[in-house]
Structure 1
Amino acid sequence: MSQTATSEREAGPVTKAIRVAIIGAGASGLVTAKYLRQARQYFGVPDVEVRVFEKEDGVGGVYKYKAYEEAEMVSSKYLTAFSDFRVSKDLPDFLPTEEYVRYLKGFCTHFDLWGVIETKTEILRVSHTSSGHRVFFRRIERLRAADRRDGEQQEESWDCDAIAICSGLNNVPFIPSIEGLENMSYLHSSEVKERRQFGSNTSIMILGAGETAMDIAHLAITSEAQEVVMCHKGGFFCAKKVVPLPVVLQVWKPDPRQKPVDTAIASFLDTAYLPERLQHSSLLWTVYDKTFKCLHYISGGTAAGPDQWVGEIKGDRNNVDSLFLVKSDRALPYLNEGNRAQDILSRIRAFVMNVELKPTGGRKILTAPWPSAFREDGTAVFADSKECEHAEALSQVVKPNLIIAATGYVRRFDFLEDDYPKPNELDVRGIWRRGEVTAGFIGFVRPGIGAIPPLAELQAQLWVLELLRHKYPQEMALSTADSDKGESNNAVPHYEVDYALKARGGHDLFKSKHGVEQESYAYQLALDMGSAPTFSFMRRQGFKALYTWAMGSNFNTKFRLIGPWRWTKGALPIMRGELFDVVKQTGGGVFFTTYTLLPLLLFGYLTLLLQATAGMLRLAGMKERANRVLGSGNIPRREGDDLQE
Structure 2
Amino acid sequence: MKAVIIGAGPSGLVTCKSLLDAASDDFPFDPIVLEQEADIGGTFRYRGYQNATLVSSKQLTTFSDFRLPFEHHDHLTLEEYVDYLRAYCRHFNITDRIRLETKVVNVSRNPDGGHIVSYVTKTTAGEWEQEPKTIHATYVALCTGLHVIPAVPSVPGIEHVLDPANHQLDAMSPAAYHSTEYKSREQLAGRRVMILGTGETGMDLAYEAAKAGAKEVVLCSRSGFLSFPKALNDFEVFGFQFKSEKASVPIDSLITNLGETAYVHPWVASSHIRWFVSDFVIKRLIWFLTGTQAGCNQWVGELEPDRLGRAYVFLNKSHKAMPYINRPYRSRARILEYMSRYIDPPEDMPPHTDFTVDLAPFPTHFLPNGRAVFPVIERRKDAVRMQGRDVRPEVVVYATGYRQEFSFLDKEGGYATPGEADVRNVVKSGDESVGFIGFVRPGVGAIPPISEMQAFFWIALLKKQVKMPLPPPHYHLLVKDTARIKYGVDHSAYMSTLAKDIGAAPGLWELWWEHGTHVLVCYCFGAAFTTFYRLTGPYRSPLAPQITKTELWDTITRRGLLGNFVMGLIPMVFYLALNAIALGIELVFTLGGVVR
Give me the TM-score of the superposition, normalised by structure 2: 0.91
- Give, in whole Å, the separation in 2 of the partners of 1:239 and 1:293: 12
Per the TM alignment, residue 253 of structure 1 is displaced from its structure 2 partner at its CA by: 5.6
Q: Secondary structure of the residue that 1:287 maps to in structure 2?
A: helix
- Give, in whole Å, the separation in 1 of the partners of 2:66 and 2:177: 36
Candidates 31, 52, 56, aligned match of 2:37: 56
Per the TM alignment, residue 583 of structure 1 is displaced from its structure 2 partner at its CA by: 1.6
Q: Which stretch of the first structure deviates more once superposed, 591-600 or 374-383?
A: 591-600
- String of CA shifts for 1:432-490, please: whole Å, max 9, x gaps: 11000111110000001100000000001111222244xxxxxx8xxx9xxxxxxxxxx
Query: After the TM superposition, which residues 292-307 of structure 1 pair with which residues of structure 2 at under 5 Å, given as runs?
Result: 292-307=282-297
- Give, in whole Å, the separation in 1 of the partners of 2:561 and 2:159: 50
C-alpha contact 1:446 1:513 (8 A) present in aligned 2: no
Candidates 376, 383, 393, aligned match of 2:368: 376
2:571 counterpart residue number: 599
C-alpha contact 2:48 2:183 (8 A) present in aligned 1: yes
Q: Secondary structure of the residue that 1:187 maps to in structure 2?
A: strand
- Give, in whole Å, the separation in 1 of the partners of 2:498 and 2:585: 29
C-alpha contact 1:36 1:50 (8 A) present in aligned 2: yes
Structure 2 residue 94 is the aligned partner of structure 1 residue 116 = no
C-alpha contact 2:268 2:582 (8 A) present in aligned 1: no
- String of CA shifts for 1:10-32, please: whole Å, max 9, x gaps: xxxxxxxx111110000000000
- String of CA shifts for 1:387-406, please: whole Å, max 9, x gaps: 33334433321111111100
C-alpha contact 1:25 1:52 (8 A) present in aligned 2: yes
Structure 2 residue 347 is the aligned partner of structure 1 residue 355 = no
Per the TM alignment, residue 153 of structure 1 is displaced from its structure 2 partner at its CA by: 5.8
C-alpha contact 2:189 2:209 (8 A) present in aligned 1: no
Q: Which runs of 5+ in 2 are unaligned?
A: 162-174
Structure 2 residue 145 is the aligned partner of structure 1 residue 134 = no
- Give, in whole Å, the separation in 2 of the partners of 1:601 and 1:151: 60
Let me know the Cα RMSD of the aligned residues.
2.3
- Give, in whole Å, the separation in 2 of the partners of 1:48 and 1:550: 35
1:341 counterpart residue number: 331
1:498 counterpart residue number: 474
- Give, in whole Å, the separation in 2 of the partners of 1:626 and 1:273: 21
- String of CA shifts for 1:120-162, please: whole Å, max 9, x gaps: 111112111111111111112464xxxxx64646422211111
1:441 counterpart residue number: 436
C-alpha contact 2:64 2:531 (8 A) present in aligned 1: yes
C-alpha contact 1:188 1:406 (8 A) present in aligned 2: yes
Q: Which stretch of the first structure deviates more once superposed, 127-136 or 579-588?
A: 579-588
2:400 counterpart residue number: 407
Candidates 514, 519, 523, aligned match of 2:487: 514
Per the TM alignment, residue 382 of structure 1 is displaced from its structure 2 partner at its CA by: 1.2
Letter in 2 for 1:435: G
C-alpha contact 2:65 2:544 (8 A) present in aligned 1: yes
- String of CA shifts for 1:79-109, please: whole Å, max 9, x gaps: 1111111121121111111111111011100
- String of CA shifts for 1:492-550, please: whole Å, max 9, x gaps: x974451011125x6546xx341000000001111110111111111222111001111
Structure 2 residue 310 is the aligned partner of structure 1 residue 310 = no
- Give, in whole Å, the separation in 1 of the partners of 2:234 and 2:331: 20
From the superposition, tell whether residues 162 and 183 of structure 1 become closer, same or farther in structure 2 (CA, over 3 Å). farther
Q: Which stretch of the first structure deviates more once superposed, 350-359 or 456-465?
A: 350-359
Q: Which stretch of the first structure deviates more once superposed, 289-298 or 516-525?
A: 289-298
Query: After the TM superposition, which residues 2-401 of structure 1 pair with which residues of structure 2 at under 5 Å, given as runs?
Result: 18-40=1-23, 43-45=24-26, 47-130=28-111, 131-141=113-123, 143=125, 150=127, 152=129, 154-184=131-161, 185-200=175-190, 202-249=191-238, 252=241, 254-255=243-244, 257-342=247-332, 346-357=333-344, 358=346, 359-360=349-350, 361-362=352-353, 363-386=355-378, 387-401=380-394
Q: Secondary structure of the residue that 2:198 maps to in structure 1?
A: coil
Identity %: 34
Q: Secondary structure of the residue that 1:52 maps to in structure 2?
A: strand
Letter in 1 for 2:182: V
2:170 counterpart residue number: none
Candidates 512, 534, 549, aligned match of 2:523: 549
1:427 counterpart residue number: 422
Per the TM alignment, residue 289 of structure 1 is displaced from its structure 2 partner at its CA by: 0.6
From the superposition, tell whether residues 314 and 587 of structure 1 become closer, same or farther in structure 2 (CA, over 3 Å). farther
- Give, in whole Å, the separation in 1 of the partners of 2:306 and 2:409: 38
- Give, in whole Å, the separation in 2 of the partners of 1:576 and 1:112: 27
- Give, in whole Å, the separation in 1 of the partners of 2:128 and 2:589: 74
From the superposition, tell whether residues 161 and 183 of structure 1 become closer, same or farther in structure 2 (CA, over 3 Å). farther
Q: Between Structure 1 and Structure 2, how many residues are aligned?
A: 571
Structure 2 residue 557 is the aligned partner of structure 1 residue 584 = yes
- Give, in whole Å, the separation in 2 of the partners of 1:389 and 1:282: 32
1:13 counterpart residue number: none
- Give, in whole Å, the separation in 2 of the partners of 1:597 and 1:291: 14
- String of CA shifts for 1:4-50, please: whole Å, max 9, x gaps: xxxxxxxxxxxxxx11111000000000000111123xx44353222
Per the TM alignment, residue 179 of structure 1 is displaced from its structure 2 partner at its CA by: 1.1
C-alpha contact 1:366 1:390 (8 A) present in aligned 2: no
Per the TM alignment, residue 199 of structure 1 is displaced from its structure 2 partner at its CA by: 3.7
From the superposition, tell whether residues 50 and 321 of structure 1 become closer, same or farther in structure 2 (CA, over 3 Å). same
C-alpha contact 2:238 2:340 (8 A) present in aligned 1: yes
Per the TM alignment, residue 245 of structure 1 is displaced from its structure 2 partner at its CA by: 4.1
- String of CA shifts for 1:543-595, please: whole Å, max 9, x gaps: 1100111111111111112222222x221111122111212333573x54554
C-alpha contact 2:160 2:367 (8 A) present in aligned 1: no
